Amino acid sequence: MNTFRHVLLCISVIPNLLIGLLTDEQKQSYQQNGYLVISDFFSNEACDTLRHRAAELVNDFDPSSTSSVFASSDKQIIDSYFLGSASNISFFFEKDVWSADGSLRLPKEYCINKIGHAQHDLDPIFSAFSRDPKLEELTHDLGINNPLLIQSMYIFKQPYIGGEVSCHQDSTFLLAEPDTIIGYWIALEDATIENGCLWAIPGRHKQGLKSMFISDGISHHEFVTLDPTPWDEENKVPLEVKKGSLIVLHGYVPHMSFANTSPKSRHAYTLHVMDASSHYSELNWLKRPQNFPFRGF
Ligand code: FE2
């Protein structure tokens, strides 16, 4: 290698070693807004591999084994199937997809809302995607020194069927003290206003947590209001992103998505991490048995 090329190579490598994956501007933007969009984080091939695996899981799933519905963040039907999904690969349907006789009105792959919440630990392909070294580096860049992967969701948002998810903060459902919850939202297809992209309210993560969802893991589940002030949803902004983009979400940033009224699906994968130094609340609905603890990268 000639000297000139060697110098160029060193210049291109050293900044990454010194400052990590995020620039100071990106870190400041995240702190200011409570979210950060990173384009081209995952390759098209990686996205397609995960999509293919999700399709296989749905294909192998027998819908008659459950009728659990995920209608929106605050309307989840809390049953034993949902609670068990903390430690399983479970399938949740959109509302209004069941006929009176208990069968699905459409092929099951169009009626599924999401798969959750432990495929990142139970399925090798989901685990490899979730434990991408780049994602680990990003997590450290965001100040999570000893990360644990808490939950995963594969969200389908199918054409004409994918429902609205109302404005919420992810930490409402994943309480930790101190709160180090970070959500990763990965576009497995282009996400646009038409097919129901994420919307977030910039800077509102600084106003604290508005509610807690607590559960004894059996029969008592409750939203506890901490701040009754409504969101200033008129200030929300759309986060339209290309396939392979990653959106970092602070646990307190309010976000939502509208129903998909378009002919295009909007598949996305979400993963939540926290620092092991935080205390994961016993009040969280998502409870792992002792023999299935949270793991890191
Ligand atoms: Fe969310």
pLDDT tens, 18-34?
458 999 999 999 999 99
Highest mean predicted confidence (pLDDT) among 74-78, 106-110, 250-254: 250-254
Distance 5 CA to ligand 1 centre (A): 46
Is the pLDDT at 196 greater than 60, yes or no? yes
Distance 239 CA to ligand 1 centre (A): 13
Given this model, what pLDDT does residue 97 score?
84
Distance 7 CA to ligand 1 centre (A): 44
Q: Which residues are in the CB-under-5-Å shell of ion ligand 1? A: 170
**Least confident piece of the model among 5-14, 72-81, 145-154, 264-273:** 5-14
Given its phi and psi angles, is residue 39 left (phi above 0), alpha (psi -120 to 50 degrees) or beta? beta
Is the pLDDT at 51 greater than 60, yes or no? yes
- Give residues with Cβ within 8 angstroms of 100, minimum separation 6: none
Distance 234 CA to ligand 1 centre (A): 18
Share of the chain above pLDDT 90, in %: 79
Distance 131 CA to ligand 1 centre (A): 20
Angstrom distance (rounded) from CA 115 to CA 102 = 20
For the four alpha carbons of 170, 171, 175 and 179, in that order, the dihedral sign comes to positive
Given this model, what pLDDT does residue 215 score?
95
- Average pLDDT of span 136-165: 96
Distance 168 CA to ligand 1 centre (A): 6
Distance 3 CA to ligand 1 centre (A): 50
Q: What is the DSSP string of 242-292?
A: -TT-EEEEETT--EEE----SSS---EEEEEEEETTSEEPTT-S----TTS
Q: Tell me the three state secondary structure of residue 86.
A: helix
Average pLDDT of the chain to the nearest whole number: 91
Cα–Cα nearest to 143, from 281, 274, 296: 274
Q: Between these two residues, 1 and 107, which has the higher pLDDT value? A: 107
- DSSP bridge partners of 93: 69, 112
Is the pLDDT at 145 greater than 60, yes or no? yes
Distance 143 CA to ligand 1 centre (A): 21
Is the pLDDT at 265 greater than 80, yes or no? yes
- Average pLDDT of span 120-124: 98
Q: Structure tokens of 185?
A: 């939202």
CA atoms within 13 A on the CB side of 188: 23
- Average pLDDT of span 116-136: 98
- Average pLDDT of span 52-65: 91
Residue pair 85/121 in contact (Cβ under 8 Å)? The answer is no
Distance 209 CA to ligand 1 centre (A): 13
Confidence of residue 72 (pLDDT cuts 50, 70, 90): very low
pLDDT in tens, 207-234: 999 999 999 999 899 999 999 999 999 9
Given this model, what pLDDT does residue 15 score?
43
Is the pLDDT at 45 greater than 50, yes or no? yes
Between the CA of residue 31 and those of 82, 140, 210, 241, 285, what are the distances in Å?
Answer: 33, 15, 19, 20, 28
- Average pLDDT of span 61-72: 67
Q: Structure tokens of 263?
A: 């002919």
Is the pLDDT at 2 greater than 60, yes or no? no
Distance 115 CA to ligand 1 centre (A): 14
CA atoms within 13 A on the CB side of 251: 22
Name the one residue in this structure whose structure tokens are 């959750």. Answer: 116
